[in-house]
């Protein structure tokens, strides 16, 4: 009755163990994608809103809002410290209603390539890129980017990575001064409030359906290398599980692939998987 139609190719639910987006992703970067591409935003969205959307997500680094220049379309990029955090945020936020008035929902996918901007102390937690006054095609608010800011630090933060943009002459603007709003957050931008990003060879699995069983979990987990055992706890209400692996890397791999996927018994969306706070006790 009530469930989200996920149709992203990035994750297969509980399907063949297949190493995806590892090395050799489109574009040929060095490693995994840590950046999310966000579309479906209302055209009056503010960079601060994007930042507030992502700032509480574990492993969040920074984000940027971009006026693409085509129409009034606005997109955003959110960068995380690692791939799995990006995946988790993707699953957590994809499809959420962003504006209750219009009912518009967020569309989030992995970016085609990582944002190249290096986080350095001094640069704000978010950034605005405005490509709107490109041609005479659409001039709605040309007065928005009148601050010919030569940021001088980071001229190469551009983006090849979105689905529907091919423009490059952007103007980067440091975050604290969010234009008209000026409501900068009084918070330390260098410290994202993170949940738990400490790797552990045991995984904590939440958001399971009330009827989930250890057998079902075992079946889903046992295809991953190094899997040892799983324990189901707290059957009353929302059950959680702990899955133990031989190695941290193997746990991480399983988490990455199963993150957000739904078991047959799930009814409240995909699994939420994190590294456990402590390793499963010896037996």
Partner DNA sequence: AGCACA
Question: Min. distance of Cβ 31 from DNA in angstroms?
Answer: 24
Asked if 115 interacts with DNA (CB under 7 A), we say no
Q: Between the CA atoms of 270, 40, 160 and 168, what dihedral angle is there, to the nearest 10 degrees? A: -160
Helix or strand (DSSP H, E) at 274: strand 272-275
Q: Which two tokens stand for residue 2?
A: 């009530």
- Which CB sits closer to DNA, 15 or 193? 193
Answer yes or no whether residue 157 interacts with DNA by CB under 7 A. no
Nearer to DNA, 92 or 129 (CB): 92
- Restricting to residues 246-275, which ones interact with DNA according to CB under 7 A? 268, 272, 274-275
From 262, 275, 281, 254, select the one nearest 204 (Cα to Cα).
Answer: 275
Between CA 144 and CA 179 the distance in angstroms is 8
Per the CB < 8 A criterion, the answer to whether 107 and 36 are in contact is no
Q: Is 243 helix (H, G, I), strand (E, B) or coil?
A: strand
Q: Which are the contacts of 203, defined by CB distance < 8 A and separation ≥ 6?
A: 242, 243, 244, 245, 251, 254, 255, 273, 274, 275, 276
Using rule CB under 7 A, residue 53 touches DNA:
no
Q: Which member of 52, 163, 211, 278 binds DNA (CB under 7 A)? A: 278
User: Counting contacts by CB under 7 A, is residue 228 touching DNA?
Assistant: no
277 near DNA (CB under 7 A): yes
One of 54, 227, 242, 245 touching DNA (CB under 7 A)? 242
Positions in 190-209 near DNA (CB under 7 A): 195-196, 202, 204, 206-207
Confirm or reject binding of residue 224 to DNA (CB under 7 A).
no
DSSP SS3 for 24: coil
Instruction: With contacts defined by CB under 7 A, name the span among 4-12, 100-108, 114-122, 232-240 that binds DNA.
Output: 232-240
Q: Does 110 sit near DNA (CB under 7 A)?
A: no
SS3 202: strand
* Nearest distance, CB of residue 214 and DNA, angstroms: 12
CB of 89 to DNA, least distance (A): 10
Region label for 143, one of left (φ > 0), alpha (ψ between -120 and 50) or beta (otherwise) = alpha
User: Would you say 77 or 245 has its CB closer to DNA?
Assistant: 245
Contact 34, 83 (CB under 8 A): yes
State which residue, 74 or 108, has the beta carbon closest to DNA.
108
What DSSP line would sit under 150-162, residue for residue?
---S-TT---S--
Closest approach of DNA to the CB of residue 231, in Å: 5
Q: Does 279 bind DNA (CB under 7 A)?
A: yes
Cross-strand bridge partners of residue 205:
241, 273
* Of 231, 248, 250, 267, the one binding DNA by CB under 7 A: 231
Chain residues in the site for DNA (CB under 7 A): 56, 92, 195-196, 202, 204, 206-207, 231, 233, 238, 240, 242, 244, 268, 272, 274-281
């Amino acid at each position: 009755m009530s469930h989200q139609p996920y149709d992203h190719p990035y994750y297969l639910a509980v399907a063949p163990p297949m190493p995806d987006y590892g090395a050799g992703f489109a574009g040929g970067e060095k490693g995994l994608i840590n950046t999310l591409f966000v579309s479906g935003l209302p055209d009056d969205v503010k960079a601060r809103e994007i930042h507030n959307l992502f700032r509480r997500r574990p492993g969040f680094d920074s984000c940027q809002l971009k006026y693409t220049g085509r129409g009034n379309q606005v997109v955003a990029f959110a960068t995380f410290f690692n791939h799995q955090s990006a995946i988790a945020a993707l699953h957590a936020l994809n499809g959420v209603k962003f504006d209750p008035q219009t009912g518009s929902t967020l569309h989030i996918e992995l970016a085609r390539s990582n944002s190249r901007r290096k986080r350095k102390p001094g640069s704000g937690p978010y950034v605005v890129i405005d490509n709107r006054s490109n041609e005479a095609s659409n001039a709605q608010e040309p007065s928005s980017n009148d601050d010919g800011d030569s940021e001088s630090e980071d001229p190469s933060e551009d983006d090849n990575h979105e689905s529907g943009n091919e423009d490059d002459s952007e103007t980067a603007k440091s975050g604290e001064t969010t234009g008209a709003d000026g409501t900068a957050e009084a918070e330390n931008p260098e410290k994202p409030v993170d949940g738990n990003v400490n790797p552990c060879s045991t995984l904590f699995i939440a958001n399971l359906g009330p009827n989930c069983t250890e057998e079902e979990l075992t079946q889903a987990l046992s295809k991953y290398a190094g899997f040892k055992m799983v324990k189901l706890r707290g059957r009353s209400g929302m059950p959680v599980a702990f899955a133990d692996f031989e190695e941290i890397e193997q746990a991480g791999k399983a988490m990455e692939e199963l993150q957000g996927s739904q078991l047959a018994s799930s009814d409240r969306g995909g699994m939420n998987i994190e590294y456990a706070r402590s390793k499963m006790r010896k037996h």
